[in-house]
Structure 1
């Protein structure tokens, strides 16, 4: 028998405020058509005043627990992927732990920007395989609206706020690609590319920062690296693109999503797309898409799924799992 980390519940939360593209037309030299044609985004959600990343994460966690038909007493650990924590410390994860009423186990944050949820899945898988936890809440949550430069039309129209969560549970498998759960992982980073996507401030520099991005360069890096990492992860599981039921990618830009699918030889009919409704929610985008994909009836038990993401650092990676 082989210990597998299996997703047994999924949920998400989006702030109430919906911001259509047209709302930017009053303050920026932009239009709904311009934003749609370059990104595929039609609307996004922004957190309300006083609504924090931990609030979003807790709501998504409640939804995932309900979907798994579990209570917080069944959970051993919480991992939150975020680049926009409420405070420098303590972690968002410990805030979620308190809100959920979890008085045991452990909780911590992980920061790999848009690739954060992929890295968090890898961490959770390692904890499960090592026998350190039996059930883990893995959450991606962001309030990127708090780090936008509202005068920069090339970035501020692309991002949104939200949270998604999954419950991961240890289950026995046969050690084959037919098992449910995480089958393989590929993680990468290259600090030489950090200037392509970053926030120009932080605690150590003692200045408030805003997101900066070289969009054209990020696009070129993204399509190539996402294709390679997805194919590498599939190869490690003894699988190929032909075996894939769904790609659930980081929802940054529809052109990146389309370009990656094309290079992998897959139809867009096999891609879960939510970028039009959420914008780029960074570490939250993959679990949000997983939750929406299940709600739509796209993702079903036994489906082979590839998740892949790239973000600031640059950091990128992919996870192959069977639902």
Structure 2
């Protein structure tokens, strides 16, 4: 897990975005490592020759562009040092000769160094500031010091370095020596880097990058020499590479033992399993469950309570935390691409916020824990296996026994799946069922930008109980689906070894599965006669659509294609992000808070997501079921609203159906 931290200025910081921290426990081969390094360090990093040519051709419009290129180049130059090794200067006579876990970097001289260094120095001096001249000069000083004193070519660096004995076997090879080493040379501590503060988000990110890169060269730059290994004298100071952790030691040992034959990438073996699989349609469609006809005990929603992440993470916060692997993007561009202005994060455990939601729902329903017949927990981000989160919540509520307490993994279709199971269980227990949906994405994202832009943290809980005698209940239809092409099934993956075990989203496949399911759902409801007598078709009974809050831009586009009218849609993704299984119930609560649901209203709530699962419910929402939930968000930006009331007012304005009409251009 790679959680965020809050610095002394009250701002969110994502350390993994500027302090590379690969999980070598999941890297099985040099091929896999090369793929990760190429993606995260090489693809977007210009080479020294590229920077030279851009400088000579006048391609840099301002200093910010040049500084970014220099920083990305230095991250690439240090790609293996930063991810695998710690650098340790040591007098040559004190270096152990036979250790298998101490390595010596072998390098080649950097061609045309003087021309490349001179060109960038002249370019910076001639360019106008991008944001703030004084701050930019401070960043440039650190970056240029590292760049100008670089001595070696980085094009063909090996990830696995030779041991001392291996290096001595080829005495003509070059390694670093330091003519003058000061162990007290300036080094930026972890807290110093976290506590960087700049009014310009892009410049704050560059400042952190420059400090991290400076730390890769904790010695005077002009003291570095390249010396043949065979000519090292006892008093020469060499730079040793020490593995950062036990997993790196294991990886290096494994690669050395494998030799020229290498190690087969486990991902290749897994990919082979998916070849040649064609998805086939079921022998007949699965009709939705007509709750009125299928079940004797009618389900009623007694309460809905939500808990949102206590920290607001704005798009500016994302830019402040730009990773070395990200392409340039502004806060406005993130908003345009996703429809998200901010997302909510929590520093608490997923179980904690889920338990709080459960307790609030029970209190609002006026139910005692001993009245609950079953506990269901829907999540795709729980790291708890034993005991399951549902059983943990059961224990925390003081329940001696339930008929069933179980976790369901249906990702963004968690609510439809959970409701379907709750209604079925209701028939067996004839007593209230507690359904909890909770997600915590913030510590499972790492440097994956699409995931960082989209996902947030939150939890919601519903009490589903038998309706009083003579009442029809709150559900018309329930439907769940799963399956599709393998590429859609694997369109969202966590943990993903290819991305350092962080959550990854393959956008085109997600859009394909969402579009396929949304069209199927609407066609299904449009062709289904309404059996309640309220309208001609089941679709005609729907007064409001509260979809899974996946990606507003994508969902609006798909909704237009499916024929959904603007005045039937509600979004809160602008302020919450995508909270997967919790997104629909949190959106319902916000729709009540925004007075969009201002009376008992029939809604269509579709969900779709990871694993190519989907589902929906057509249900009645009475505003009275929503438990009071004071917004305790912590503003992490000086420009954030000064009060909760102001935040709610702005949220309400953005979430109105009028806003949806504008989005559709009608």
Aligned to 2:507: 215
**Correspondence 1:239-250 to 2 at 5 A:** 239-250=537-548
The alignment status of 1:187 with 2:480, answered yes or no, reads yes
Could you say which structure has the greater relative contact order, defined with CA pairs below 8 angstroms and 6 or more residues apart?
A: 1
The alignment status of 1:97 with 2:374, answered yes or no, reads no
TM-score, normalised on structure 1?
0.88
Aligned to 1:69: 366
> For 2:362, what is the secondary structure of its paired residue?
helix
Q: Quickly say closer, same or farther: Cα 1:214–1:173, change in 2 above 3 A.
A: farther
Is the deviation greater in 262-271 or in 85-94? 262-271
**Correspondence 1:1-323 to 2 at 5 A:** 2-28=296-322, 29-48=328-347, 51-105=348-402, 106-128=404-426, 130-150=427-447, 152-171=448-467, 179-190=472-483, 192=486, 193-201=488-496, 209-233=501-525, 235-236=527-528, 238=530, 239-323=537-621
Q: Distance in 1 between matches of 2:301 and 2:428?
A: 16
Is the deviation greater in 306-315 or in 95-104? 95-104
> For 2:554, what is the secondary structure of its paired residue?
helix
CA shift for structure 1 position 10? 0.6
Q: Quickly say closer, same or farther: Cα 1:264–1:71, change in 2 above 3 A.
A: farther
CA shift for structure 1 position 224? 3.0
> For 2:406, what is the secondary structure of its paired residue?
strand
CA shift for structure 1 position 208? 6.7
CA shift for structure 1 position 249? 0.9
CA shift for structure 1 position 212? 1.6
Q: Quickly say closer, same or farther: Cα 1:236–1:133, change in 2 above 3 A.
A: farther
> For 1:107, what is the secondary structure of its paired residue?
strand
Matched-pair contact (CA < 8 Å) for 2:496–2:504? no
Give the aligned length.
313
Name structure 1 gaps, 5 residues minimum: none
CA shift for structure 1 position 248? 1.3
Name structure 2 gaps, 5 residues minimum: 1-291, 323-327, 531-536, 622-666
Is the deviation greater in 11-20 or in 23-32? 23-32
Q: Distance in 2 between matches of 1:232 and 1:23?
A: 42
Q: Quickly say closer, same or farther: Cα 1:208–1:91, change in 2 above 3 A.
A: farther
Q: Distance in 2 between matches of 1:234 and 1:166?
A: 28
Structure (1/2) with the larger strand percentage: 1
Matched-pair contact (CA < 8 Å) for 2:528–2:538? no
Q: Deviations over 1:230-289 (max 9, x none)?
A: 442565572343321111111011123323443454433322211011101111101111
> For 1:54, what is the secondary structure of its paired residue?
helix
Matched-pair contact (CA < 8 Å) for 2:345–2:457? yes
Q: Quickly say closer, same or farther: Cα 1:173–1:42, change in 2 above 3 A.
A: farther
Q: Quickly say closer, same or farther: Cα 1:231–1:290, change in 2 above 3 A.
A: farther
Q: Distance in 1 between matches of 2:364 and 2:526?
A: 28
Q: Quickly say closer, same or farther: Cα 1:318–1:233, change in 2 above 3 A.
A: farther
Q: Quickly say closer, same or farther: Cα 1:210–1:7, change in 2 above 3 A.
A: same
Which consecutive segments of 4 or more residues in structure 1 shift more than 4 A?
172-175, 233-237
CA shift for structure 1 position 11? 0.8
Question: RMSD over aligned Cα, in angstroms?
Answer: 2.5
> For 2:452, what is the secondary structure of its paired residue?
coil
Q: Deviations over 1:204-229 (max 9, x none)?
A: xxx97211221122123212312322
CA shift for structure 1 position 135? 0.5
CA shift for structure 1 position 103? 2.4
